[in-house]
Amino acid sequence: MGRYAEAFSQAKDDRESFWLDAAKGVDWEVAPTRALDDSAPPIYRWFPDGTLNTCHNALDRHVAAGKGDRTALIWDSAMVGEVRHYTYAALLDEVSRFAGVLAGRGVGAGDRVVIYMPMIPEAAIAMLACARIGAVHSVVFGGFAAPELATRIDDAAPVAIVTASGGLEPGRTVEYLPMVARALELSTTPPSTVIVKDRPEIGGAAADYDGWLDWEELTSAAEPVAPVPVAATDPLYILYTSGTTGKPKGVVRDNGGHAVALTWSMSNIYGIEPGDVWWTASDVGWVVGHSYIVYGPLLAGATSVMYEGKPVGTPDAGAFWRVIAQHKANALFTAPTAIRAIRKADPDAAELAKYDTSSLRALFAAGERLDPDTFEWAGEVLGVPVIDHWWQTETGWAIAANLRGLEPMPLKAGSPTVPVPGYDVGIVDAEGNALGADEEGNIVIKLPLPPGTLAGLWQDEERYRGSYLNTFPGYYVTGDTGYVDADGYVFVLGRSDDVINVAGHRLSTGSIEAVVASHPAVAECAVIGIHDDLKGQRPSGYVVLKAGVEIEPDVLRGELVAMVREQIGAVATFRDVTVVPALPKTRSGKILRKTMRQIADNEEYTVPSTIEDPDVLADLAKQIGG
Ligand code: COA
Ligand code: AMP
């Protein structure tokens, strides 16, 4: 039996010994004697009697082992042309002093702290400082506007917000402070403490706002604090992600399972060992950034590169190759969109020839489907394996992957390879019946999920059960559709719900619809995710005007685009608006979004038998179909 098959069956049949063994990869204050608490299915807890501190595992233990001089974090900003190196000892110092700042403001174990920051080292420092004192961080992506930030503040009820003057996007600065101020106005539970990291190149500082505090001033006067042991089952963070409704889901990650799973994943999935240089080009606002810019590489004792910039235009399509060469990165993890953007700007990879990227051993892609074209191109130009792997905010680490450290397997274009040990993946039809090889259906995972996956949704067990556990009892519903081939390779085809993936960013069409529907000229609307060559998908809106309303389509479009940008954020990339006479519906009034998407994408479709008025669909096909 190969190493993969052995690990997979052990994780399935002898779960306790598999995960207790993996748990030896982290330092415990009190080592767990049990892996799984399965006393209250379908809710499970990992390492119920263990206690530890995640920050200690990410920093202190490496310093204690004599590795304080090793580089922990390299910050490379293509936006300001600066590179900063932090050794493990230096990062520990920064983190323990900022933890002292938080503790000094009365932030304690279990308290929530919202972090709304761009890609600067202080974002990682703030996250680790929360972990150090047992506080629960909730990072909000900088591309979200004030109302989205306010929604998250209201749900998490934080005691503090940590932010910065702003972020830098090509051609513009994004000022965060006015957005934080607006979010606090909108919020029903505004925290009393706001800490601002000043970025002089942007402008806007704590001093501009009454009572807000300056990061530098606080940290220069702060005493470092020691890590606080917490229960393995205590929450480390809440990360909000798009669901099918406008209200985001607060995915809760625990401390123990998370530390064990991520440590295991770095060597077994990514083949990364202590001292290797690892680069994830994502953002700390997404799960990929949480797991693989901050926690994973530091838990593993590797060097993590944190990049502020884009794959193209900062300054050119050679930006990624420059970063790999300059920091001798051994692996890069990014979203397929980034590779497509590079290819579009530089189809012959002429920029690549300017850099020595020989340190690179593999390119990992996730966040959206890696299309076979991009897979082939990247493999050809880079000359290293291109590894698709599939996961979600909820799981926190890969569900399916080609396990480079454990046992590399042949790659198949279009497939993230096989289920990772711990994930018992199945395909079922709408009634929950198991499907066979190559049969397309809902992708489900047999419970319990492995360590490191969501412990629940923040203070909403009912929604957790309703969204993931109730549909097929005994299984977790991924929300993705796909199939498993005869060799056991997983193929992920797309979402079965109203979640869309734009440039690797997960968005809810429902929340965009809610904004569009609030325009006074709009009677009803549907927003669907349609194919986009660069970003994978993009949201496209179809609106029916109220009777008697006259408005130029361009004016309406301009107003709707501005509203979505203001209420959700630039990241929604909402640009397409089409006025239609009516929306196709079922007799029970459900909008036929899937059929609309098939029409817009020029795919074949069948007219659903439940359709209310086939003429509406036929007219729509004439108007929007290719
Ligand atoms: N803060 C504020 N605004 C942000 C932002 C942030 N952190 N990130 C993106 N935005 C804005 C952009 O400036 C842009 O605004 P604009 O409409 O004024 O131009 C808008 O949100 C859309 O951004 P994006 O989707 O990044 O599109 P783009 O055209 O600027 O860049 C790519 C296209 C492909 C280069 C870019 O999407 C990319 O690098 N993708 C990789 C995705 C990724 O890393 N995903 C993480 C999950 S693994
Ligand atoms: P997020 O929670 O933002 O990470 O988005 C998760 C969703 O992105 C998944 O449910 C999938 O729909 C999609 N996704 C992520 N990685 C992949 C992949 N490798 N292949 C196909 N889809 C993916």
DSSP 101-139: HHHHTT--TT-EEEEE--SSHHHHHHHHHHHHHT-EEEE
Within 13 Å of residue 364, how many CA atoms lie on the same side as its CB?
30
pTM: 0.97
Tens digit of each residue's pLDDT (9 = 90 or more) over 52-97: 999 999 999 999 999 999 999 999 999 999 999 999 999 999 999 9
Give the integer Cα–Cα distance in Å for 220 and 194.
17
**Does residue 262 belong to any structural domain of this protein?**
yes
Same domain? 421 vs 562: no
Tens digit of each residue's pLDDT (9 = 90 or more) over 337-392: 999 999 999 999 999 999 999 999 999 999 999 999 999 999 999 999 999 999 99
**Does residue 24 belong to any structural domain of this protein?**
yes
Assess contact for 279 and 293: CB atoms under 8 A.
no
**Does residue 328 belong to any structural domain of this protein?**
no
The tokens of 324 are what?
Answer: 């790999």
Tens digit of each residue's pLDDT (9 = 90 or more) over 430-480: 999 999 999 999 999 999 999 999 999 999 999 999 999 999 999 999 999
Unique residue bearing structure tokens 């005691």: 159
pLDDT of residue 626: 63
- Provide the residue range defining the domain that includes 520: 505-624
Question: Ligand 2 centre from 536 Cα, in Å?
Answer: 11
Is the CB of 311 inside a 6 Å radius of any atom of ligand 1? yes
Q: Is the pLDDT of residue 243 over 90?
A: no
Tens digit of each residue's pLDDT (9 = 90 or more) over 114-135: 999 999 999 999 999 999 999 9
Q: Is the pLDDT of residue 181 over 80?
A: yes
Please tell me the number of the ligand nearest to residue 570's CA.
Answer: 1
Question: Ligand 2 centre from 366 Cα, in Å?
Answer: 7
Q: Which residue's C-alpha comes closest to atom 9 of ligand 2? A: 392
Give the integer Cα–Cα distance in Å for 336 and 533.
11
Please tell me the number of the ligand nearest to residue 366's CA.
Answer: 2
**Does residue 497 belong to any structural domain of this protein?**
no
Question: Ligand 1 centre from 535 Cα, in Å?
Answer: 10
Mean pLDDT of 587-602: 94
The helix (H) or strand (E) run that includes residue 96 is helix 88-104
Burial 414-453 (b: 16+ CB within 10 A, else e): ebbbbbbbbbbbbbbeeebeeeeeeeebbbbbebbbbbbb
Last residue of a domain, one of 481, 497, 520: 481
**Ligand 1 atom nearest to CA at 310:** 39
Question: Ligand 2 centre from 324 Cα, in Å?
Answer: 25
Same domain? 560 vs 595: yes
Overall domain count for the chain: 2
Strand partners, 337: none
Query: Quick one: 402 exposed, middle or buried, by C-beta within 10 A (0-12, 13-18, 19+)?
Result: buried
Same domain? 292 vs 402: yes
Please tell me the number of the ligand nearest to residue 251's CA.
Answer: 2
**Ligand 1 atom nearest to CA at 335:** 48
Same domain? 421 vs 472: yes
Q: SS3 for 205?
A: coil
Same domain? 36 vs 123: yes
Q: Which residue's C-alpha comes closest to atom 20 of ligand 2? A: 369
Assess contact for 295 and 94: CB atoms under 8 A.
no
Output 593-596 pairs: Cβ under 8 A, ≥24 positions apart: 593/498, 593/509, 593/526, 593/528, 596/526, 596/528, 596/542, 596/620, 596/624
Same domain? 551 vs 475: no
**Does residue 322 belong to any structural domain of this protein?**
no
Strand partners, 197: 164
Same domain? 560 vs 468: no
Tens digit of each residue's pLDDT (9 = 90 or more) over 532-546: 999 999 999 999 999
Tell me whether the omega of the peptide bond preceding residue 42 falls within 30 degrees of 0, making it cis.
yes
pLDDT > 90 in the chain, percent: 97
Q: Is the pLDDT of residue 210 over 70?
A: yes
> Mean pLDDT, the chain, as a whole number?
97
User: In the chain, what is the greatest distance between 2 CA atoms, to the nearest angstrom?
Assistant: 75
For residue 482, the one-letter residue type is: G
Give the integer Cα–Cα distance in Å for 421 and 287.
20
End-to-end CA distance of the chain: 51
Same domain? 601 vs 459: no
State the Cα torsion 586-563-140-190 to the nearest 10°: -110
Same domain? 84 vs 157: yes
- DSSP-derived pairing of the beta strands 136-139 and 112-116: parallel
Give the integer Cα–Cα distance in Å for 305 and 299.
14
- List of residues 6+ apart from 125 with CB closer than 8 A: 91, 94, 95, 98
Same domain? 97 vs 207: yes
Same domain? 158 vs 223: yes
**Does residue 346 belong to any structural domain of this protein?**
no
Same domain? 585 vs 457: no
**CATH number of the domain within which 252 lies:** 3.40.50.12780
**Does residue 342 belong to any structural domain of this protein?**
no
Give the integer Cα–Cα distance in Å for 608 and 611.
6
Residue 583 to residues 595, 596, 612: CA-CA distances in angstroms? Answer: 11, 9, 10
Q: Is the pLDDT of residue 110 over 90?
A: yes
